[in-house]
Amino acid sequence: MSLALRNVQRVVRVRRAPLRRAVCALRAALGAARFDVGLVCADNTLMRRLNGAYRQRPEPTDVLSFPYHQVVAGELPRPSCRDDYNLGDIFLGVEYIHQQCRDTGENFDSVLVVTAAHGLCHLLGYQHNTEPEWQQMYQKEVEILEELNRLTGTSLRPLTADLF
């Protein structure tokens, strides 16, 4: 199905075509290619507002995911009609991610893709509130990023390697 990609910020240049291709490949690796996804590139102001409203943390962050379905990690939604073929929306805090990459020397475009992979996993029920949840989510991120690496010749790894 479709990937709606919107860049609603003007702080950081985002290369949309490679990001779109990577997210489509990640969605396929998750077995969710037939589901729609919204991907929004946002600045710190919007991320701060959303993070405050939905997580009671009024600070910018790298990614926020808003799933359309509540599913158990590892299961795909079971749509009952055409409108239910929607995984949800991912907001990428591109300004925040860019600042982090500047501080660490990491490649912005690569981190953006890995962060989108993390957001996709959240749309499919994966969490990282406990160590077992984190291990399950980390393994899924490794799996889908390895598939993307195989297709693109990259060497992307999950960002949450040292969470616990």
Instruction: List average pLDDT for each run of 10 residues in the chain, which is 164 residues long.
Output: 94 97 97 97 98 97 97 94 95 98 96 98 95 94 97 90 68
Q: Is residue 83 part of a domain?
A: yes
Q: Count CB-CB contacts under 10 A for residue 163.
A: 12
Q: Is residue 160 part of a domain?
A: no
**In this predicted structure, what is the pLDDT of residue 163?**
67
Q: Does 68 fall in a domain?
A: yes
The reply to whether 158 falls in a domain is no
Planar angle of CA 114, 86, 75, nearest 5 degrees: 70
Q: Which of 96, 94, 124 is nearest to 19 (CA)?
A: 94
In degrees, rounded to 5, the angle at the alpha carbon of residue 4 between the alpha carbons of residues 36 and 49 is: 105
Looking up residue 41, the CATH number of its domain turns out to be: 3.40.390.30
Q: Does the global pTM surpass 0.75?
A: yes
Return d(Cα 39, Cα 63) in angstroms, integer: 10
Domains contained in the chain, number: 1
State the residue range of the domain holding 143: 3-152
Assess if residue 161 is contained within a domain. no
Residue of 111, 115, 96 whose CA lies nearest to 45: 96
Within a domain: 15 = yes
